[in-house]
Amino acid sequence: MRTPGPKTMTTTEASNPLLTCGKHPRFSEITPDSVREAIPSLLETASIEFNAYEQCIEPTWSGIFDRRRRILDPLGYAWGITSHLMGVLNSDDLREVHEEMQPKVIEYFTRIGQSKPVYEALEALKNGDGWAQLNGPQQRLLDKELIDMKLSGISLEGEEKERYNAIAKDLGELSTGFSNAVLDSRKAFELMLTEKADTKGLPATLLQAAAASAAAKGSEGANAEEGPWRITLDAPILVPFLQHSQNREQRETAYRAMITVASSGKFDNQERIEDILSLRKEKAELLGFNSHAEISVSTKMAEKVEAVDELTSDLRAVAFPKAKEELAELIAYARKKTNDENLELAHWDMAFWAERMREEQYDLSDEELRPYFPFPRVLEGLFAVTKRLFDVTVEAADGDVDVWHEDVRFFRIKNNSGEDIASFYLDPYSRPENKRGGAWMNDVIGREKLEDGTQQLPTAVLVCNQSPPTGDAPSLMTHREVETLFHEFGHGLQHMLTTVDLPDAAGINCVEWDAVELPSQFMENWTYHKATVMNFARHWKTDDPLPTELFDRLVAAKNYRAATGVMRQLYLGGFDMELHHRYSPGKDEKVKEVKARVNSKMSVMPPLETDRFECGFSHIFAGGYSAGYYSYKWAEVLSADAFGAFEDAGLDDEEALAATGRRFRDTVLAQGGSRHPMEVFQDFRGRAPSTEALLRHTGLT
Active-site residue set: 488
Residues in contact with 62: Cβ distance below 8 Å, sequence separation at least 6, in sequence order: none
Determine how many CB atoms are found less than 10 A away from the CB of residue 472.
7
The DSSP code for 246 is -
**Parallel, antiparallel, or unpaired for β 459-466 and 455-456?**
unpaired
Round to whole Å and give the CA distance between 227 and 471. Answer: 14
Round to whole Å and give the CA distance between 601 and 583. Answer: 16
Question: 148 by DSSP, 3-state: which?
Answer: helix
| Residues 151-154: contacts with CB under 8 Å, at least 24 apart | 151/287, 151/295, 151/298, 151/299, 152/110, 152/113, 152/114, 153/110, 153/113, 153/114, 153/286, 153/287, 154/113, 154/114, 154/115, 154/116, 154/119
Q: Report whether 443 contacts 424 (CB < 8 A).
A: no
Residues in contact with 521: Cβ distance below 8 Å, sequence separation at least 6, in sequence order: 487, 490, 632, 635, 636, 639, 640
Q: How far is CA 526 from CA 80, 521, 536, 537, in A?
A: 32, 10, 12, 13
**Residue 96 CA, distance from chain mean position:** 25
Question: 417 by DSSP, 3-state: which?
Answer: coil
The phi, psi pair for 422, rounded to 5°, reads -170, 175
Round to whole Å and give the CA distance between 478 and 462. Answer: 18
Question: 60 by DSSP, 3-state: which?
Answer: coil
Q: How far is CA 515 from CA 207, 495, 504, 694, in A?
A: 40, 14, 17, 15
Round to whole Å and give the CA distance between 58 and 53. Answer: 9
Round to whole Å and give the CA distance between 580 and 574. Answer: 10
Q: 20-31 burial, b if ≥16 CB within 10 A, otherwise e?
A: bbbbbbebeebb
Q: Count Cα neighbours of 259 within 13 Å in the Cβ-side half-sphere.
A: 14
Determine how many CB atoms are found less than 10 A away from the CB of residue 341.
8
In the chain, what is the greatest distance between 2 CA atoms, to the nearest angstrom? 82
649 by Cβ neighbours in 10 Å (0-12 / 13-18 / 19+) ranks as middle
Round to whole Å and give the CA distance between 308 and 611. Answer: 26
**Parallel, antiparallel, or unpaired for β 440-445 and 448-449?**
unpaired
The phi, psi pair for 226, rounded to 5°, reads -115, -10
Nearest alpha-carbon partner for 465 in 498, 449, 487, 443: 487
Question: 327 by DSSP, 3-state: which?
Answer: helix
592 by Cβ neighbours in 10 Å (0-12 / 13-18 / 19+) ranks as middle
Round to whole Å and give the CA distance between 245 and 509. Answer: 44
Q: How far is CA 161 from CA 50, 147, 154, 157, 278, in A?
A: 20, 17, 8, 5, 17
Question: 253 by DSSP, 3-state: which?
Answer: helix
